[in-house]
Structure 1
Amino acid sequence: MALSRLRAAAAAAAVLLSLTACSTGPAGGSSEGGTAAASDGAFPVTIKHAYGETVIDEQPERVATVSWVNDDVSLALGVVPVGMPKVEWGGNDNGSTPWKDAKLEELGAGAGSEKAPKQYSEADGIAFDEIAATEPDVILAAYSGLTQEDYDKLSKIAPVVAYPKTAYGTDWQTSTEMIGKALGKGAEAEELIASTEATVEEKAAQYPELAGKTFIYGNLDPAASDAVNVYTANDNRPKFLSSIGMKQADVVTEATGDSEEFFLPWSAEKANELDSDIFVTWVPSDKTKQQVLDDPLLGQIPAVEKGALVADSDNTLTLSISAASPLSLPWALDTFLPMLAEGAEAADAS
């Protein structure tokens, strides 16, 4: 997804490329929505996050979500939210994704069902009024870019599970742990994390050429004023590549230092310094990929020069990695890993 949009979303807490899907109504395993199974732990529970602590007195039955990932995790744990954001970038005609649709159908809450969540748009920011209308018991935002103002306003509606440290920086495992605790499904969350990691490991093992390869995950767009941006280890895209045995390039690690930012702007005049085996980027079309290859500055990126540019123009695939979740990752692996392997083979051949 385009970094300039992500940056604007973070700055305004508006999340222009949000995963918005679904709002009020019954959900989950009861007529009142939300929780599909009994609690595996005692309530109340206290969850620490960037804005302090949130106490949840009893197991939530009505769950609302904001931003990306949170709805996926809730669904993966068997809890259908009463309200969740529409997927407005990388989504389908349902305002959803293939992995989300499959899980909703499995839980008896597919499109048109009485249990289907309502959808609200986050194109202009958090949908406070529509979230309030769902009458939630808890609002999940473990992966989000909530500001203090957003958090305070949402907290007047229901207890809010905000991100632990960095906006848009929560890895899917931590999101799953936090949401599992909030929903009284801690043990199920642990099992979900373990099974998802096992799936990733099993699939990645089929591509041994990826092990140890250095990478840079960034955005390349010759037509933009900020033609080059690179994602830091704080972002979920590099986190995913690291999880399958690849290594972030030293040039990015050194430039990041102690920064908590999820990306770094990079001068196109210094593009030749972005040394790695593979460079991964989202592009709006194959035309843009060719423009990168032909650009006199971006074409000097070492991985680009040796044909190891992995340029993805599938918005849904990009979304599945950048907003990684226990539902999206298994869906993405059979497509994304072969693309990376092709880049690795090009690097080996150079």
Structure 2
Amino acid sequence: MKLFSRTPGALRAVAATAAAGLIALTVSACGANAGSGAAESSSPGPDASGAAAEAFPVKVKSVYGETEIKEEPERVVSVSWVNGDTALALGVVPVAVPKVTWGMNANNSTDWADAKLDSLGAGKGSDKAPTFFDEPVGDVAYDAIADADPDVILAAYSGLTKEQYEKLSKIAPVVGPGVAAYGTPWEQSTEMIGQALGKSAEAKQLITDTEATIKKAADANPQLKGKTFIAGNFEPNQGGINVYTSADNRPRLLTALGMKEAPVVKANEKPGAFFFNYSAEKADELDSQIFFTWFPEGQNKESIEKDKLLNRIPAITKGGLVGTSDNQLLLSVSAANPLSLAWGADKIAALVGNGADVVEGK
């Protein structure tokens, strides 16, 4: 979202900025180097709902107050990948979005964003394709955003600070974060963006459809129901385990799939924090049936299982360590939005479901 991958290690390195660092990825950017030149306008897609247009002006609340949008936006710019994806899911092509820099595909984009852009007639090289700009780590690309001449700036899911929000507001109305520091649930950011674009009815339906997609994935993997889990990542060289809390998208999805967050997580999480660090010396206290993680380069399931401290985690001793080295797959849940969840929820459910089968001895 910087996302989007939000990685505790990265956050420490860049002072909690675009947080999502490694695994979650910078949870705040979204895009691919797919277009050259800004699109004429943020065009509604051919599959946009025929619902009656909402009356403007509209006011959207965020952690920094209330933003008034006087007229239906024609030129939309996104701060973060999630917000741009959500606009696309609502049938609106932004004129400019940040490049995807973690978990990207061969196009420096994502498979779900590419597919939606193509369906809206705004694929790579087309006249309607958005401009993709570089977003500095922990900061905002003010010049690139200003050059796009936006009518509205979407940052509902972001790590935008009050200072950054106020500076951006001098360019155009800003839909600020619903919850600070990349904490806005995808449902809330979808509602906020729908309101800003005059598409509240469509946003409501989009949330319903996405929830149905997640339920379908859960129904296809009934062994997940009631299983306790911990989501986190390992930093063996630093002697620690980063555990994600209910403020993070990964645990949110696993919970929506019918799983239960382990009591040890609730006992140690702090309000507003999306992760906490746990000493590997106390690994045996991280009790759950499933431990869901991501394997960065140089790390894999076998290396964790052989670690003399980490392999004392109860889920690992039971065969319940579930992980992926597919960065795009992880991005789909760490930078969760209706498009990414439609692409990845069933894949995550099947992956974790396989781990649940092992735990059950199947």
User: Which TM-score band applies after superposition, normalised by the shorter structure?
Assistant: over 0.9
Amino acid across the alignment from 1:32:
S
1:21 aligns with 2:31: yes
TM-score (norm 2): 0.90
Per-residue CA deviation, residues 98-133 of structure 1 (Å, 9 max, x unaligned), is 000000000010011111100111243311100100
Partner of 2:176: 162
For residues 9 and 323 of structure 1, the distance between their equivalents in structure 2, rounded to whole angstroms, comes to 18
For residues 279 and 260 of structure 1, the distance between their equivalents in structure 2, rounded to whole angstroms, comes to 22
* Structure 1 vs Structure 2 CA RMSD: 2.1
Runs of 4+ that moved beyond 6 A: none
Partner of 2:230: 216
For residues 309 and 211 of structure 2, the distance between their equivalents in structure 1, rounded to whole angstroms, comes to 38
TM-score (norm 1): 0.93
Per-residue CA deviation, residues 204-237 of structure 1 (Å, 9 max, x unaligned), is 10111000001000011323x1530100001111
Per-residue CA deviation, residues 112-170 of structure 1 (Å, 9 max, x unaligned), is 11111001112433111001000000000000000111111111111101112231111
User: Are the counterparts in 1 of residues 62 and 175 from structure 2 also a CA contact under 8 Å?
Assistant: yes
Aligned residues: 345
1:327 aligned counterpart, secondary structure: helix
1:116 aligned counterpart, secondary structure: coil
2:253 aligned counterpart, secondary structure: helix
Partner of 2:309: 297
Which one of the candidate residues 268, 277, 282 is aligned to 2:289?
Answer: 277
Which one of the candidate residues 326, 329, 351 is aligned to 1:339?
Answer: 351
Alignment of 1:79-158 (within 5 A): 79-124=92-137, 125-158=139-172
For residues 203 and 12 of structure 2, the distance between their equivalents in structure 1, rounded to whole angstroms, comes to 30
Which one of the candidate residues 33, 38, 42 is aligned to 1:33?
Answer: 42
Alignment of 1:245-284 (within 5 A): 245-256=258-269, 259-284=271-296
Amino acid across the alignment from 2:107:
N
Structure-2 change in CA distance of 1:34 and 1:139 (3 Å): farther
2:300 aligned counterpart, secondary structure: helix
Amino acid across the alignment from 2:160:
L
Shift of 1:311: 1.3
Partner of 1:320: 332
For residues 7 and 170 of structure 1, the distance between their equivalents in structure 2, rounded to whole angstroms, comes to 21
User: Are the counterparts in 1 of residues 245 and 275 from structure 2 also a CA contact under 8 Å?
Assistant: yes
Task: Identify unmatched segments of 5+ residues in structure 1.
Answer: none
User: Are the counterparts in 2 of residues 221 and 283 from structure 1 also a CA contact under 8 Å?
Assistant: no
Partner of 1:178: 192
User: Are the counterparts in 1 of residues 99 and 134 from structure 2 also a CA contact under 8 Å?
Assistant: yes
Which one of the candidate residues 7, 11, 29 is aligned to 2:16?
Answer: 11
For residues 10 and 246 of structure 2, the distance between their equivalents in structure 1, rounded to whole angstroms, comes to 19
For residues 71 and 165 of structure 1, the distance between their equivalents in structure 2, rounded to whole angstroms, comes to 17
For residues 134 and 188 of structure 1, the distance between their equivalents in structure 2, rounded to whole angstroms, comes to 26
Task: Identify unmatched segments of 5+ residues in structure 2.
Answer: none
2:165 aligned counterpart, secondary structure: helix
Structure-2 change in CA distance of 1:82 and 1:226 (3 Å): farther
For residues 87 and 239 of structure 2, the distance between their equivalents in structure 1, rounded to whole angstroms, comes to 36
Alignment of 1:300-311 (within 5 A): 300-311=312-323
1:49 aligns with 2:46: no
